[in-house]
Chain A
Amino acid sequence: MSQFLNLLVAGLTSGAIYGIFGACLAVWFRVCNVLNLAVGDFAMFGAIGTAWLVQNAGLPFIAGIVVDLAGVGLAAWLFDWVVLHQAFDRGRGARGIVGVFFYTFGLSLVLEGVARAWFGTDVWGAPSIWPGPALSVLDFHVQRAGILVIAVAIVSGLALWAYLRFTVSGRAASACGESTFGSRIVGIDNAKFRRWIFIGTAVLAALFGIVESPLSGFTYLSGPTISLIGTIAAGFASFRRPGRAVAIGLAIGVVESMLGGYVSSSYNDVLLYALLFGIIIFRPEVLGLGAEPA
């Protein structure tokens, strides 16, 4: 029983990571129909940037977090102004499925390159927000950072879900994704929603990276894997439902952990990816994207 509980908590912790990035992807996709494949790189900058500011620049921990999040927000704003504004507001550049993937893919490559040049190839971890030994009840152990990760994921997922569901601003944001032209006709500023939600999700991802980094550590290459799993979680939530993305992410984490604990600790990722692949292929309707006629 204790093994099951430990696996469950470990799964929920890693699942919370997948879920929150899935939620970040889903909420922005809902606004502008573009996948943010750089979300993992923003998390990486959050974790490594804060660690660097504290360890190398000598800033206090809180100041390091503030400076780092401000830097990530600025980078996101700059990308929106230089690239997304040109592509979507001025009608230049690639559209369609190429635009869905490759603008933020380019950003991801640039962020990785900058991180490598700036921070090197070492493993970095920000100081723990809630320091101390793991909490234990009998044979059941849980890291404090793990509890924070799960809590932040659930609160963020619920907040994003409530924002889209219950606020006028959230409904306007959703309308942008449904019809750019139609939302403009009724006076919604698409560019503003795209920009601020992009910046907001980038800062949220960076904050999550800071919270999570004491558990696993980050290198400049950590971003793409996180983005990829986040994309899968968002995909199972139709790319549009952040609350559901968090739930799916948690489920993916738990399945991965159970496979590792009860089936094979070496092949758990392989089995998980194969399972997800099979679901997408044989039941594409679960993605909510609509299968085409054969």
Chain B
Amino acid sequence: MTESAAAKSGTLSGPSPGATEGPAAVPRVRRRDPVPLGAGICIAAVGSVVLAAMNGSYLGLTVTTGIGYAIVTVGMVLQLGYSRQLAFSQSVFMGLGAYGVGVLETKYGFSSLESLLAVIGLAAVAALLIGAVVTRAPGLALALATLLLPLFIYQLATYSNWLGSFSGINGVLPLLTGPDYTATLVESGIACAVLLGIAAAIVLRVIRSGVGLQLMAMAEDERLGESLGISLRQRRLEVFVLGSVLAAVGGAVIASVQGIVTPDVLSETAEITLLLMVFVSGRKSIAGVILGAIVIEYLTTSTSFISTNIGTIEGIALLVILIAEPDGVAGAVDRLLGRRTDQWGSALRSWGTAQLETRGIGSRGGGNGAGNAA
């Protein structure tokens, strides 16, 4: 099958005759897909309006922190939701982003934009190096190996005086600085919302492309993916790098919002919180994980009862979701909406049939059968 033929057929393309190695050729999408860009702009716009309306309140600070987590979880949708790549390294890269901006800004005098760009580059290189090694391991071994990463990186951070030990690094700059605290918070929040929109657009673009189809095929059955000519290791690595870079950006955002980085960002607890944000809200839904991250961040800081019992609440929610709706709250909402739209469609068809029957051209209304033919 040629590349253009594959593109026309809209299927996963296999290797061309004679080409027995390398990744499957990805069908090029000829027409421009407006959904990723549109979704990204919508997310950025809605986030900006909401944060501007909150006008630098404590709730606005919580929502902005939630947006930082949402950037991480959007990457996890690709890793965990679509590719079923169970890696427990997001908190490590979140920590890399947070400590990266902290160190660059407080020790080397970088501006917030420079440090963010440097962290993106650094995270990409680190993810490429680590990913090249860890993605060699099969599914369960990958999970096991990455389970160890947060353990020793967390301990390294707590022992390192250069990284501020248990106290961490104070004085991280906000993404944008306004004339006063309120303006700074609002402007930084809007910048975070824009970053979230970009992250969502990138992930959505990947999901809706031929690569996204390949990832779904791999997730369904790796042997199926291999038989289609997909380079499993290359795709795994790409997903790992993208997810890790987004985690680092999320970490940088969280550090800049809070103004401080502590080793907690690297801990197992942070990893658990991220996993819950993804699983409870719906690991295949970008909108779901964005809302989930913000809502869970809000709940953990809202009342003392919830913050004290958050573990129990999250555990029960996770078990209920896994049993009742493995695709999370977003999956349940999708199903309900689908059922409702099916009902509307059914009602519309019945109404249309009734109208045709009254005009004598329905399927059971006799006539010359032109209605049926139509």
Is B147 in contact with A231, judged by CB distance below 8 angstroms?
yes
Is B138 in contact with A107, judged by CB distance below 8 angstroms?
no
Instruction: List residues of B (131-148) whose CB comes within 8 Å of A's CBs.
Output: 133-134, 136-141, 143-145, 147-148
A102-B322, A109-B312 given; A97·B143 CB < 8 A:
yes
Is A280 in contact with B140, judged by CB distance below 8 angstroms?
no
Is B315 in contact with A232, judged by CB distance below 8 angstroms?
no
Partner of B312, one of A114, A228, A266, A267: A114
Chain A residues near B318 (CB-CB < 8 A): 102, 105-106, 109
- Residue-wise interface mask of B (300-337) relative to A, using a CB-CB cutoff of 8 A (1 in contact, 0 not): 00000000111111111011001110100000000000
Partner of B144, one of A93, A106, A235, A270: A235
Is A277 in contact with B315, judged by CB distance below 8 angstroms?
no
A267-B159, A280-B148 given; A97·B140 CB < 8 A:
yes
Chain B residues near A106 (CB-CB < 8 A): 315-316, 318-319, 322
CA distance A222 to B159 in the complex (A): 21
Partner of B315, one of A109, A231, A291, A292: A109
Chain B residues near A281 (CB-CB < 8 A): 133-134, 136-137, 145
The prevalent SS among residues of A at the interface is helix
Partner of B84, one of A96, A112, A235, A276: A96
Chain A residues near B176 (CB-CB < 8 A): none
Among B66-74, B105-113, B150-158, the one that faces the other chain is B150-158
A93, A109, A112, A284: most-surrounded residue (chain B CB, <10 A): A109
B84, B145, B312, B319: most-surrounded residue (chain A CB, <10 A): B319
Is A107 in contact with B144, judged by CB distance below 8 angstroms?
no
Chain B residues near A103 (CB-CB < 8 A): 319, 322
Cβ of A86 within 8 Å of any chain B Cβ, yes or no, is yes
Cβ of A110 within 8 Å of any chain B Cβ, yes or no, is yes
CB contacts between A and B, total, < 8 Å: 142
Chain B residues near A113 (CB-CB < 8 A): 309-313, 315
A269-B155, A277-B152 given; A107·B319 CB < 8 A:
yes
Q: How many residues of B contact A (CB 8 A)?
A: 44
Is B140 in contact with A83, judged by CB distance below 8 angstroms?
no
Chain A residues near B308 (CB-CB < 8 A): 116-117
A143 to chain B, nearest CB (A): 26
Cβ of B222 within 8 Å of any chain A Cβ, yes or no, is yes
A86, A114, A292: most-surrounded residue (chain B CB, <10 A): A292
Cβ of B232 within 8 Å of any chain A Cβ, yes or no, is yes
Cβ of A290 within 8 Å of any chain B Cβ, yes or no, is yes
The closest CB in chain B to the CB of A94 belongs to: B326
Is A294 in contact with B141, judged by CB distance below 8 angstroms?
no
A97-B143, A98-B322 given; A292·B151 CB < 8 A:
no
A151 to chain B, nearest CB (A): 29
Cβ of A81 within 8 Å of any chain B Cβ, yes or no, is no
Chain B residues near A276 (CB-CB < 8 A): 148
Size bin of chain A's contact surface: 35 or more
Cβ of B297 within 8 Å of any chain A Cβ, yes or no, is no
CA distance A87 to B319 in the complex (A): 10
Cβ of B86 within 8 Å of any chain A Cβ, yes or no, is yes
A231-B147, A266-B159 given; A287·B312 CB < 8 A:
no
Is B141 in contact with A284, judged by CB distance below 8 angstroms?
yes
B321 to chain A, nearest CB (A): 8
Cβ of A262 within 8 Å of any chain B Cβ, yes or no, is no
A113-B309, A232-B144 given; A97·B136 CB < 8 A:
no
Cβ of B206 within 8 Å of any chain A Cβ, yes or no, is no
CA distance A12 to B309 in the complex (A): 36
A97-B139, A270-B152 given; A231·B279 CB < 8 A:
no
Cβ of A100 within 8 Å of any chain B Cβ, yes or no, is yes
Cβ of B149 within 8 Å of any chain A Cβ, yes or no, is yes
Chain B residues near A86 (CB-CB < 8 A): 323
CA distance A274 to B130 in the complex (A): 13
Chain A residues near B310 (CB-CB < 8 A): 113
CA distance A96 to B316 in the complex (A): 20
Is A277 in contact with B148, judged by CB distance below 8 angstroms?
yes
Partner of B138, one of A100, A267, A274, A290: A290
- Residue-wise interface mask of A (231-251) relative to B, using a CB-CB cutoff of 8 A (1 in contact, 0 not): 110010001000000000000
The closest CB in chain A to the CB of B85 belongs to: A97
CA distance A283 to B322 in the complex (A): 33
Is A273 in contact with B148, judged by CB distance below 8 angstroms?
yes
Partner of A270, one of B86, B138, B155, B319: B155
- Residue-wise interface mask of A (71-115) relative to B, using a CB-CB cutoff of 8 A (1 in contact, 0 not): 000000000000100110000111111111111011111111110
Is A110 in contact with B315, judged by CB distance below 8 angstroms?
yes
Chain B residues near A96 (CB-CB < 8 A): 84
Cβ of A224 within 8 Å of any chain B Cβ, yes or no, is yes
A87-B323, A291-B137 given; A108·B147 CB < 8 A:
no
B221 to chain A, nearest CB (A): 11
Cβ of B233 within 8 Å of any chain A Cβ, yes or no, is yes
Is B152 in contact with A97, judged by CB distance below 8 angstroms?
no
Cβ of A289 within 8 Å of any chain B Cβ, yes or no, is yes
Is A110 in contact with B312, judged by CB distance below 8 angstroms?
yes
Given contacts A273-B155, A291-B137, 5 further A-B contacts (CB under 8 A): A94-B322, A98-B326, A110-B312, A284-B141, A294-B233
List the 8 shortest-distance A-B pairs measured between CB atoms, nearest first.
A113-B312, A109-B315, A110-B315, A273-B152, A94-B326, A113-B311, A106-B318, A106-B319
